[in-house]
């Protein structure tokens, strides 16, 4: 990446860019394969339980992001481990209300090393102790987590009319940046928003792109990993939306990044 920024020869810069793009596609393919295998493991389980602990012969470079995706999708604390010979190293991701580092402290006798904070951590465990660690971690999750805590809950800052989403609003929201774990990006919501069009985008149409709005304004909206919802939108004219407000880098137009979408069957 740094070499590309410093390169002054156009031909060499192009070759470096092509190499980086190839490496990125390869990483994405590996990530998708690991995610598919992990979800396949969960599919064979009758009850996922209150936490997820999975291990496999996986590329360690994508473990963290796959753990994040699983934690987000299943809304469970997730530990994903890459087995190499007699050791397993991995990443853990959590949900609000479950302090990951403290949970790992309770399992310390089974771990070689661990470190992190409330929402993310790294762990190393001997392969021979994987089963014991999994039992211990799941026991902590069973003790600390209630069923209510395993139900995702969006904290919406304000419910507004969709036509109120303007560049001025976006600029006001950006005054609250930088956003992060201690300062989450504001989520807004709008009810009974018209859907003008929608289609799946990306590899295997895993993302959802929509045109939404009302008689006064129209916006492009993108739902990352929302592609499976397309089938539910057939024949639907209105939806309730929760979203972040951003600016599309390509056309400098306002874009809504979906956080939740619920079809509205009728408008009263």
65-82 pLDDT per residue, tens: 999 999 988 999 999 999
CATH 2.40.50.460 segments of the chain: 156-264
> What is the pTM assigned to this prediction?
0.68
CATH 3.10.310.30 segments of the chain: 2-150
Which pLDDT band holds residue 1 (cuts at 50, 70, 90)? low
Closest by alpha carbon to 53, among 118, 116, 111, 117?
Answer: 111
Q: What is the CATH code for 2-150? A: 3.10.310.30
196-210 pLDDT per residue, tens: 999 999 888 889 999
Which pLDDT band holds residue 7 (cuts at 50, 70, 90)? low
**Full 3-state SS string of 97-160:** CCCHHHHHHHCHHHCCEEEECCCEEEEEEEHHHHHHHHHHHHHHHHHHCCCHHHCCCCCEEEEC
The class (CATH top level) of 156-264 is: mainly beta
């Amino acid at each position: 990446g740094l070499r590309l920024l410093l390169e002054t020869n156009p031909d060499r810069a192009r070759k470096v860019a092509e190499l980086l793009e190839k490496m990125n596609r390869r990483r994405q393919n590996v990530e998708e394969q690991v995610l598919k295998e992990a979800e396949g493991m969960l599919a064979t389980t009758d009850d996922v339980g209150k936490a997820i602990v999975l291990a496999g012969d996986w590329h360690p470079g994508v473990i963290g992001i796959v753990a994040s995706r699983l934690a987000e999708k299943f809304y469970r604390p997730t530990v994903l481990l890459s087995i190499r010979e007699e050791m397993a190293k991995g990443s853990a991701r959590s949900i609000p209300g479950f302090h990951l580092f403290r949970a790992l402290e309770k399992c310390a006798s089974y771990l070689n090393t661990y470190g992190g904070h409330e929402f993310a951590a790294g762990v190393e465990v001997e392969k021979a102790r994987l089963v014991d660690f999994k039992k211990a971690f799941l026991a902590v999750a069973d003790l600390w987590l209630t069923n209510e805590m395993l139900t995702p809950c969006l904290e919406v800052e304000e419910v507004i009319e969709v036509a109120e989403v303007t560049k001025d609003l976006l600029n006001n929201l950006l005054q609250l940046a930088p956003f992060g774990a201690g300062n989450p990006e504001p989520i807004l919501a709008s009810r009974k928003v018209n859907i003008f069009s929608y289609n799946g985008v990306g590899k295997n149409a895993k993302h959802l792109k929509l045109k939404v709005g009302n008689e006064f304004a129209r916006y492009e909206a993108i739902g990352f990993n929302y592609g499976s919802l397309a089938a539910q939108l057939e024949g639907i004219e209105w939806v309730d939306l929760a979203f972040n407000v951003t600016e599309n880098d390509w056309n400098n137009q306002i874009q809504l990044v979906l956080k939740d979408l619920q079809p509205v069957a009728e408008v009263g």
